[in-house]
Amino acid sequence: MKMIHYQFILLAALTIFHMSANSAASPLPSTAREFLESHNQARASVGVEPLTWSEQLANTTSKLVRYQRDRMSCQFANLTAGKYGANQLWARGETVTPRLVVDEWVKQKQFYNHSDNSCVPNHRCGVYTQVVWKKSLQLGCAQTLCAKEQASLTICFYYPPGNYVGESPY
Ligand SMILES: *[C@@H]1O[C@H](CO)[C@@H](O)[C@H](O)[C@H]1NC(C)=O
Ligand SMILES: *[C@@H]1O[C@H](CO)[C@@H](O)[C@H](O)[C@H]1NC(C)=O
Ligand SMILES: *[C@@H]1O[C@H](CO)[C@@H](O)[C@H](O)[C@H]1NC(C)=O
């Protein structure tokens, strides 16, 4: 049995706010499928169309998590508003499954009020709103284990990016 330590630091794309594809034909690797299905369940539960997997985004996140592992002591990537939306999860301990990662992000749903597109004060909703952002169509994610830090880092990219200030996710 793997020990999973529920000691997460959530940061993220939650802080990537913006001012202003195609799915692979071949069968997806199981981790890709799990990332995709977990996202799409959260989207379906609020009536938002599914994301498709992007091998290009997956490759980009794969390079990024390895860079953060090898050069940045496994810290979160410093992602300022760019062409992709992004969510990240850092978890101490052993590997976390893609489903657990996405479930952790979706926990912010409890703080999000869709009727006026607000977040409960002193809480964050941006990771969740990126997951269910309707205009985001493509997803690519990667995870890495950081041996020295005994942690894992997961990064997902979304295209087009979500979390436009003042815009409702769906
Ligand atoms: C993604 O990376 C794999 C393995 O390195 C490579 O075969 C594939 O062509 C890349 N795909 C894209 C869309 O960049
Ligand atoms: C992240 O990058 C931006 C722009 O490159 C920079 O202004 C900012 O200081 C960086 N933040 C951290 C925590 O390194
Ligand atoms: C959500 O926002 C609406 C409109 O401002 C408000 O009436 C309602 O009480 C809020 N719901 C919760 C659970 O705070």
Measured by CA distance, the residue closest to atom 1 of ligand 1 is 59
**Whose C-alpha lies nearest to ligand 3, atom 4?**
116
Closest CA to 52 of 164, 154, 160, 169: 160
**Beta bridge partner(s), residue 43:** none
pLDDT for position 25: 56
78 Cβ below 6 A of ligand 2:
yes
Ligand number, closest to the Cα atom of 123: 3
| Domain covering 53-76+83-159 in this structure, CATH number | 3.40.33.10
- From 64, 68, 71, 78, mutation site for ligand 2 pocket: most ligand atoms within 8 A of C-beta: 78
- Indicate whether residue 168 lines ligand 3 (CB < 6 A): no
Sort residue 45 into left (φ over 0), alpha (ψ -120 to 50) or beta: alpha
What DSSP letter does each residue of the chain carry, written as one string? Answer: ---EEEEEEE-SGGG--B------SSPPPHHHHHHHHHHHHHHHTTTPPPPEE-HHHHHHHHHHHHHHHHHSTTPPP---S-SSEEEEEEEEES---HHHHHHHHHGGGGGEETTTTEE-TT---HHHHHHT-TT--EEEEEEEEETTTTEEEEEEEEES---BTT----
Q: Is cis: bond before 160, omega within 30 of 0?
A: yes
What confidence score (pLDDT) does residue 24 get? 46
The per-residue pLDDT for 28 is 86
Query: pLDDT tier at 95 (50, 70, 90 boundaries)?
Result: confident
**pLDDT tens-place string over residues 114-132:** 999 999 999 999 999 999 9
pTM: 0.85
| Domain regions of the chain by residue span | 53-76+83-159
Kindly state the average pLDDT of the residues 5-28. 49
Would you state the torsion angle of the CA atoms of residues 5, 96, 148, 61, taken in this order, to the nearest 10 degrees?
-140
Gyration radius from the chain CA atoms: 15
